[in-house]
Amino acid sequence: MCQNEVMSLYLDAVLGANYNFPYANFGRKDSDMYQTRKIGVIGQGHVGAHVANSLLMQGIADELYLCDINETKVTSEVQDLRDSLSFVPYNTKIVNCGDRYEELSCCDIVVNAAGKVALAATNRDGELFYTTDAARTFANRVVDAGFDGIFVSISNPCDVVCTELWHLTGYDPKKIIGSGCGLDSARLRTEISKQIGISPKSIDAYMIGEHGFSQIGAFKAATIAGKKLSELEAENPEKYAFDHMQIEELARKGGYVTYAGKQCTEYAVANSAARVCAAVLHNEHAVLSASTLMTGQYGEEGIFTSLPCVIGAEGVEEVYTLDLSERELEGFHKSCQHIRDNIAQLDWWDEAAWNAK
């Protein structure tokens, strides 16, 4: 009896003969032996190129499909990534799609990184018209070509672009995931970590709402080892007391500190997007702060914004609401209204039709 047969009998005995591994059937099956994980990246500027590089370095995808309206730029990025293959753990296939968005229909995930970072120098809203116009150039072309995977959108303003992707395509909103406050939540944990001397990986805290200046730190729900931050502060104020508003502001403006010195953000946001992709492809059921369609959470609906989400192979599987303070809840509603105000500036906006959706 071969080793594989022994292992199969062991798993049947321990797990049951009918047990299905949670992501055994995910991915595009290109042969009887192997399932190929394919990710497309639209936009090869600072962020999109770094997303592709992060996916390559971490071995998250077996095949990467890169698109950009600037075919010279995408050709250069494809060549640069191919030149890296001798130095990375996996022999990932890199495909140059130019501006042929239909070629992304074979992908499990399509990452939207189309944008113009210079327009967001002082405010993510500065890209509003550019990125929403860009979404119109590819969204229906990808979906109409047969794409049935997951959209991961990181273009700013993130929540507006996600809402538009849903509006344009009529796509299942659970399969549209905005990077949203995922990176902002990481910044929040880092800033809290600096104050209390605990690893950010051991801090459970979230920024919620718009991925922009109106986002809110959910401090009332923040925990360490299952214990609320407020309880720890009461027990040991010398270690755990800090100015919540100051830390929230540092998390909110962290991206602009990065931008001030290099006129872009790239590494962290790329890794944040790669983290979402990994959660989908590995069917992790991971809890991440992400922009998703509101369906009544805190009384909000009809727009995308960030709350903690369970993310797996089918996209957003569950959305958690947190125990918010009165200030935090008020701030969340104001943040949602800001997203609506931005949406109302777009020429496809029709309030009556929107309310009927």
211 is catalytic: yes
Three-state helix/strand/coil letters over 177-235: EECCCHHHHHHHHHHHHHHHCCCHHHEECCEEECCCCCCEECHHHCEECCEEHHHHHHH
Calpha distance 349→339 (Å, rounded): 13
Q: How far apart are CA 162 and CA 149, in angstroms?
A: 15
DSSP code at position 40: E
47 is an annotated ligand-binding site residue: yes
Judge whether 212 is annotated as a binding position.
no
Determine the pLDDT at residue 121.
47
- The pTM of the full predicted model, rounded to 2 decimals, is 0.87
Contact 77, 49 (CB under 8 A): yes
Name which of 292, 298, 300 is nearest 325 in CA terms. Answer: 298
282 is in an annotated binding site: no
Is 48 annotated as a binding-site member? yes
Domain boundaries, the chain: 27-178, 182-343
- In this predicted structure, what is the pLDDT of residue 255? 84
CA geometry: angle 342, 183, 115, nearest 5 deg: 50
CATH topology for 182-343 is L-2-Hydroxyisocaproate Dehydrogenase; Chain A, domain 2 (3.90.110)
In order along its 357 residues, the chain shows pLDDT tens digits of 555 555 555 556 666 655 554 444 455 545 445 689 999 999 999 899 999 999 999 999 999 999 999 999 999 999 999 999 999 989 999 999 999 999 999 999 999 999 876 555 455 566 778 888 889 999 999 999 999 999 999 998 999 999 999 999 999 999 999 999 999 999 999 999 999 999 999 999 999 999 999 999 999 999 999 999 999 999 999 999 999 999 999 999 988 888 888 888 889 999 999 999 999 999 999 999 999 999 999 999 999 999 999 999 999 999 999 999 999 999 999 999 999 999 998 875 555 554 554
Phi-psi region of 117 (alpha: psi -120 to 50; beta: other; left: phi over 0): alpha
Q: Nearest Cα to 94, choosing from 135, 134, 53, 138?
A: 53
Question: 352: Cβ–Cβ under 8 A, 6 or more apart, which residues?
Answer: none
| 59 annotated binding-site participant | no
Look at residue 54 and give its three-state secondary structure: helix
Given the residues 50, 167, 211, 338, the one annotated as active site: 211
**pLDDT for the residue numbered 24:** 45
3-state secondary structure of 344: coil
| Backbone phi and psi for residue 251, each to the nearest 5 degrees, phi listed first | -65, -40
Three-state DSSP state, 108: coil
Closest by CA position to 102, among listed 56, 130, 137: 137
- Is 43 annotated to bind a ligand? Reply is yes
154 marked as part of a ligand binding site: yes
pLDDT in the model for residue 102 = 98
What is d(CA 244, CA 118) in angstroms, rounded to the nearest whole number?
A: 31
46 known member of a binding site: yes
Question: Known binder of ligand: residue 8?
Answer: no
Q: Which two tokens stand for residue 188?
A: 């929040």
CATH 3.40.50.300 corresponds to the domain 27-178: no
